[in-house]
Amino acid sequence: MRLEALVQGSIRSVLDRLGLSPPEIPVDRPPHRELGDLSSRIAFLLTKELKKPPQGVAEELAKELSSHPAFSQVQAVQGFLNFRLRPQTLHGVLKEILQEGLAYGKGEEGRGKRLQVEFVSSNPTGPLTIGHGRQAALGDVLANLFSELGFQVTREYYLNDEGRQIELLAQSLWARYRQALGDPKPIPEGGYHGDYLIPIGEELAQKFGNAYPEWNAEAKKVFREEVVPRMLRMIEEDLEAIGVSFDVWTREGDIIRKGLVDEVLRRLREGGHVYEKDGAIWLSAKIHGLPRDPVLIRSDGTPTYLMVDIAYHLDKFRRGFDWVVDVQGADHVEEQQEVKLALRLLGIPENFLSYCLHQFVTLKGAEGIEKMSTRAGRFLRLKDLVDEVGRDATRYFMVMRKPESHLVFDFALAKKQSLENPVYYVQYAHTRIASVFREAQARGEFPEDLLSLDLSPLTGPEELQLIMELDRFPDVVRLAARGFSPHLLCEYLENLAGIFHPYYARVRILGQGRATPARLALLFGVKLVLFRGLSILGVRAPEEM
């Protein structure tokens, strides 16, 4: 049984005898170890009903709980119930972890539910930058976390391969093609100046010769057909570099061809939720509390990105997903509110769509902090970043900070192969344990059956603290998923490694008689959880470094 559940169950049994049934029994980890292993503020929730101050309620409960075999001490301190656990209780926790093995930390709350996570979804106008890298890592780790909770997860990429930006991309490539032929055509206003178009332009100059001297309808068609597949290949290379793959790729053109845009417009019009002005069709959003009425259909009859996005989410609903999570930048808040409103007006449940929002990324390197701009051509391609610092560091650094906070990617730190680098620090803990196990096997000291071991020698404060920390892992997985907060898993792994490294340096593991098998069992639990956590992050758990 998990430790929090053990404490909750013991308190509830006492309250049942007293005829009390509060809706919740909060259990926390005290901020300081000297206060105990676990703590509850349940007395504060009962003071009104029992007509006693919190300290009085806590003292009464502590008296009832003091004889519980799991606790060595239960104290009432300023209204809080503080619990100290017997070593045998923690030994039982370690045995359960060893029994569960690779299933440890998995949950059942998503069982039978279909979840779609849509992320990256960058327009195919160039390779992915480090800004896209944050979203790629964030979305992929979230998908892993929800899979741990039992959800059937689909990773999806929405490809906006229609509209004005694709025309500008095609014309930008045409300009590079003309430049390769010695004709200095300028990049169009609002076009793409990235150097990645230069070699493609040179290739097409060889292929076409002077066949397209002017930018006209024929050139537009040809260069669009040439540029989009090439951009997709670059995007796929960047995704492969960071270790991300998608189950489904959906194209904007497919949504339009399915007739979903027409259906959405018809249903919103029938409900009286749109109006016409200046030849365009607008969504009546301000009457529902939003700051503006957005355009759905332009005056030339073409749908806006917002309109197709609404239709796309209707398509998601039709495909039978129970829940959809879109990972997007924090600069799209207005559009997100408008999509959710439109879906509600279409009769889709409010909780069908959630957004995981993240802030931007800047790169801190030898030349300071540089901003990314794909269109202007000033950016570091994601694949190049991975080549420089490695996949493990790239993925870890991209999710190690709260998504809502601005991320400064420390290039120099990510490259370091030392304990200063947080991902190296965590991986090195796993490697150290693997090294101990190899030595134990060589010396014939590795136990054949970890589950039947006598764990009573595990009484040191660091040993018991390690077990306490291992017990937290399932909660961290659940909180990291539900809060769209993979950084919590990074913080947890660093904390676990931070307890292990000093223990490893101070305590002899092998050649200690009865203590050796018990300590190896403890290390097996630590190694297991490090492996599980790193795997969720998509980071290697190396046996050697």
Q: Give how far the C-alpha of residue 475 lies from the chain's centroid of Cα atoms, to the nearest Å.
A: 15
- Alpha-carbon distance 484 to 403, whole Å? 8
Q: What is the pLDDT of residue 363?
A: 86
Q: What is the pLDDT of residue 160?
A: 87
Nearest to 331 by CA among 360, 374, 308, 370: 360
Find all residues with CB under 8 Å of 73, minimum gap 6, and list them. 36, 66, 83, 84
pLDDT, one tens digit per residue, over 180-217 is 999 999 999 999 998 899 999 999 999 999 999 999 99
pLDDT, one tens digit per residue, over 13-28 is 999 998 998 989 999 9
Structural domains of the chain sorted by starting position, each given as residue range(s) with its CATH number in brackets: 3-85 (3.30.1360.70), 92-109+418-536 (1.10.730.10)
Q: What is the pLDDT of residue 373?
A: 54
Total H helices, total E strands in the chain: 19, 14
pLDDT, one tens digit per residue, over 289-325 is 999 999 999 999 999 999 999 999 999 999 999 999 9
Contact status, residue 39 vs residue 84, Cβ threshold 8 Å:
no
Find all residues with CB under 8 Å of 18, minimum gap 6, and list them. none
Specify the pairing of strand 38-40 against strand 80-85.
Answer: antiparallel
Q: What is the pLDDT of residue 317?
A: 98
**DSSP state for residue 105 in the 8-state scheme:** T
Which amino acid, one-letter code, is at 538? G
pLDDT, one tens digit per residue, over 118-166 is 999 988 988 998 889 999 999 999 999 999 999 999 999 999 887 788 9
| Torsion angle in degrees (nearest 10) through CA of 429, 433, 434, 439 | 140
Specify the pairing of strand 274-277 against strand 280-283.
Answer: antiparallel
Q: What is the pLDDT of residue 371?
A: 53
pLDDT, one tens digit per residue, over 329-380 is 988 899 999 999 999 999 999 999 999 999 989 888 745 545 555 555 556 8
pTM for the full predicted model: 0.93
Q: What is the pLDDT of residue 292?
A: 97
Q: What is the pLDDT of residue 379?
A: 67
- Alpha-carbon distance 502 to 482, whole Å? 32
pLDDT, one tens digit per residue, over 72-91 is 999 999 999 999 999 999 99
Which amino acid, one-letter code, is at 350? E
- Alpha-carbon distance 194 to 384, whole Å? 15
Find all residues with CB under 8 Å of 208, minimum gap 6, and list them. 177, 222
DSSP string, 101-154: GGGTT---TTTT-EEEEE-----SSS--BHHHHHHHHHHHHHHHHHHHTT-EEE
pLDDT, one tens digit per residue, over 421-448 is 999 999 999 999 999 999 999 999 999 9
pLDDT, mean over the chain? 94
Give the H or E element holding residue 296: strand 295-297
Contact status, residue 137 vs residue 398, Cβ threshold 8 Å:
yes
Contact status, residue 60 vs residue 11, Cβ threshold 8 Å:
no
Find all residues with CB under 8 Å of 541, minimum gap 6, and list them. 427, 430, 530, 531, 534, 535
Q: What is the largest CA-CA distance in the chain?
A: 93
What mean pLDDT do residues 506-523 have? 96
Q: What is the pLDDT of residue 163?
A: 76
